[in-house]
Structure 1
C-alpha cells in the first residue's frame, strides 16, 4: 500500500532486509512461541548477525553507526510483519543508547558489541510500584561502601528480565545532598549477582517478552558498574527514554500497518451478497481512515527520530509521535477485527491477541495522560498540573526498602 513516508535508498535496503528476515518467520512463529512461553532466539540471532539490532550504535563498538531513524525502521518493519518485539526497544535501544552516550569506555567495550550482535541482552529497570511515571520518587537506592556500591530495592514490570544478562538499574543516590530533587545513579547489575531475584509478573499481553518484578537485596557492585557520575543520572535516563518513546511509536505504527493490511486482504476476498465486502463504504471508509491515521503517525515518528539524530531536543516530538501512533494502531486493529467479524477473534487470524500489545503501547512506556501533561506545559506553556517533590530529609529513613518477597 502506498504511504506518505519516503525512505532513502539505504533505508529502503534496510527495510527490505528486515522484511526478508521477518517473512522467514512470520506472525505465526511469533504467536506460537509467545503462547508457549518460548523465546525467539533464532530470529534474534538472525537480526543480530545482519547488523540490524546495532544499526544505531557506534561503529567502534560493533554497531553500524547509523541513527535512531534506522533502528525505528527495523522495529516498525518487524511489527508490520506481525512481530512486535518489545526487546528491540529495551536492549539495543534504551540500554544501548545510554551506554553509548554515558557509559565508561570499559562498560561500552564490555556491553555494546554484544548488544549490537544480539549475543547479549540487557533489561531496563526503572519502574516501581509506588513511583509510576515519577522517576524522582524511586525508592530503590544506592549507597557507597568504600569503592563499591550497595543497591537495594524493588522494580516492577521489567520486560524480558529473564532473558537479560544484566539490568540497567535506576536508583536514588542517597549519599549526595540535593535540596531540589532526588539525585539518580545508574548501574549495570548482572542478573546472576547475589541478591538479585526475579519473580514473574503475569499479564494478558501475548508476547515472548515476559514481565517481572525484580528484587535487589543489598546487591554489591564494583565501581565499574556505575554509569557516568553518581547522582547525575537524570540526563542519562533521558538518553534512553526519548529513544524508547520513538521506538514504541515505531512498534505501534508497525502494528497499525499489519492490521490494515490484514483487513484489506480479507475485505478483498470475503464475499457477502456476491461482492467483496470491501466494496461497501461501511468497510472501505473506516479502513481508509485507519490507513491515513497510521501514515500520519509514521510521519510523526520519523520526524521525532530525525530530531533526535540531529542532536535536537526531541522530547515534544517523541511524546507526540508516541501518542499519535498508539491511538492509530488501536483504531486500526479494532477496525481490522471488526472487518473480520467472528474470525477476528480467533487465533487463526492473528489479530485479537495483538490487541493487548497495541493497548500496552497506550499506557507504556509513558501514559497518554503524561504525554498530554508534557505537551500542555512544555509546548503550550500552560501551568504545570504536577510538581516534582522535594528531596526527603537527610537521614534517608524513608528510603529503606520494604521486606523483600522470596
Structure 2
C-alpha cells in the first residue's frame, strides 16, 4: 500500500529514469534542459503560465528522484520552488507573464538573495534597504552564500523598505522582495571559495545603489513576512527532498556493495553490524519523506501556518537522516568509500549542507520549541 497517487508514482518512475540516464557524471545544463522539456522544472507552476499546475508535492518528487540518481539540481530549490512560487502567488500579471513561462520551461532562471553576513538566520536583522526614488527604487546592501547568481537571469532579493509609521517618527523597516536583473548597474558579485563540490557556485553580492523600476517590487509593500515565508516554506520542503535524494543515493551504493563484497564465507551485508545500521538509515529516510509529504500537502492546500511547522520538521529530519545515511554508507565501504570510483566521499561535505542551510538545525529546534511547544524564547 502507498500513500502516493498513481500520478505521483508515475512521475517518480519517469524522473528516476531520467536521472539514471544522466547519472553521477551529469552535465547540469543538459539535465536542466531535458528536465525542462519534459515539464519537470515547472511542474508546480500554474498551467496558464506554462507550468504543470501541480505543487510542492510534485516538485519535491522531481528533486528527490534526481538526487537519488546522483544528479540533483540545486537550482530547483531556488528558481521554480522559491521564486516561481512567490511570483505565482503575489506577482503582478505582468511579472507572471514575463517570468513564469521561462521559469517553467527552463529558459529563465532566478536566484534568491536573503542571507546577509551579519544577519545570519535572523530575517528581522536584514540591512539591505530599498528607498523610493521617484517612480522606482534604490536598493543598497550585501548578501552572502547566494547560489547560482552567475547562471541566473535575475535574483529575487529580500530587502526592507523604509516606511514612516507617523510624521516625524523613525522609519520602520518591512521586508519586501525585488527582482534584480543580473546586469543591473551596481549589482556586483564575487564567487566564494568553497571546499564543497557542487555544480552551482556560491556568491557574495554587493548592491551599490542599484536603481530599479517600480515594477521590480513583487507583491504588496505592506505584506511583509507573509510573502517572505511563502517562499521559505517551499525552500525547506525542497531542501528536505534534496537531502532525502542524496541519502538514498548513498544508501543504494552501500547496499549494492554490502551484497557483493565478500571477505569471509558470506557477503558483508549478512553481518548485523553492517546490515542493521543500513536498515536504520533507510527507516529514517522514509520517516523524513513522510514528513516532507505532509509539509507539501499542507502547503499545496493553502495552510501556510501548518506547512511552516511541517516544513521545518521535514527539513530537520531529512538533514539528520541524510548525514547518517552518508556516514554509514562510507563506513560500509571502508577505504573504497573515500575513492572517486564510488562517489561517496564528496557527499560527506555535501550532506552537511542539509543541516546548516537554508536554516540551521538549531534554529529549527528553536522554532519547534517556541511555536509548537509554547516554550519561552531566550532571545
Q: Please give the root-mean-square deviation of Cα atoms over the aligned residues, in Å.
A: 1.4
Deviation at 1:73, TM superposition (A): 0.3
Aligned length: 374
Deviations 1:92-127 (A, max 9, x none): 100001001111110111001100111000000000
User: Which secondary structure does the structure 2 equivalent of 1:28 belong to?
Assistant: coil
Deviation at 1:180, TM superposition (A): 11
Kept in 1: contact 2:32–2:73 (CA 8 A):
no
Kept in 2: contact 1:205–1:356 (CA 8 A):
yes
Does the alignment pair 1:136 with 2:124?
yes
User: Which secondary structure does the structure 2 equivalent of 1:350 belong to?
Assistant: coil
Deviation at 1:232, TM superposition (A): 2.5
Deviations 1:197-253 (A, max 9, x none): 110011121111110001111111111111112243321111110000011011111
Find the aligned partners of 2:203 and 2:195 in 1 and give their Cα distance: 13
Find the aligned partners of 1:158 and 1:142 in 2 and give their Cα distance: 19
Find the aligned partners of 2:345 and 2:126 in 1 and give their Cα distance: 35
* CA 1:204–1:83: 2 relative to 1, 3 Å: same
Partner residue, 2:58: 70
By relative contact order (CA 8 Å, sep 6+), the higher-ranking structure is 1
Deviations 1:357-399 (A, max 9, x none): 210110001110110000001100101222xxxxxxxxxxxxx
* CA 1:259–1:5: 2 relative to 1, 3 Å: farther
Kept in 1: contact 2:163–2:173 (CA 8 A):
no
Partner residue, 1:125: 113
Does the alignment pair 1:9 with 2:30?
no
Partner residue, 1:341: 334
Find the aligned partners of 1:69 and 1:164 in 2 and give their Cα distance: 24
Does the alignment pair 1:159 with 2:147?
yes
Does the alignment pair 1:309 with 2:306?
no
User: Which secondary structure does the structure 1 equivalent of 2:25 belong to?
Assistant: helix
Deviation at 1:17, TM superposition (A): 1.5
Find the aligned partners of 1:280 and 1:181 in 2 and give their Cα distance: 63
Find the aligned partners of 1:385 and 1:182 in 2 and give their Cα distance: 23
Find the aligned partners of 1:176 and 1:187 in 2 and give their Cα distance: 20
User: Which secondary structure does the structure 1 equivalent of 2:16 belong to?
Assistant: helix
Kept in 2: contact 1:5–1:295 (CA 8 A):
no
Kept in 2: contact 1:176–1:231 (CA 8 A):
no
Find the aligned partners of 1:368 and 1:181 in 2 and give their Cα distance: 30
Q: What runs of 5+ residues in structure 1 fail to find an aligned partner?
A: 34-39, 387-406
The 5 A counterparts of 1:207-356 are: 207-312=198-303, 313=305, 314-356=307-349
Kept in 1: contact 2:130–2:140 (CA 8 A):
yes
Deviation at 1:7, TM superposition (A): 2.2
- Shifted more, 231-240 versus 278-287: the winner is 231-240
Q: What runs of 5+ residues in structure 2 fail to find an aligned partner?
A: none
Deviations 1:286-341 (A, max 9, x none): 11111111111111111111111111121111111111110001001000000000
Kept in 2: contact 1:250–1:301 (CA 8 A):
yes
Does the alignment pair 1:371 with 2:368?
no
Kept in 2: contact 1:25–1:43 (CA 8 A):
yes
Does the alignment pair 1:47 with 2:35?
yes
Kept in 1: contact 2:162–2:172 (CA 8 A):
no
Find the aligned partners of 2:350 and 2:171 in 1 and give their Cα distance: 37
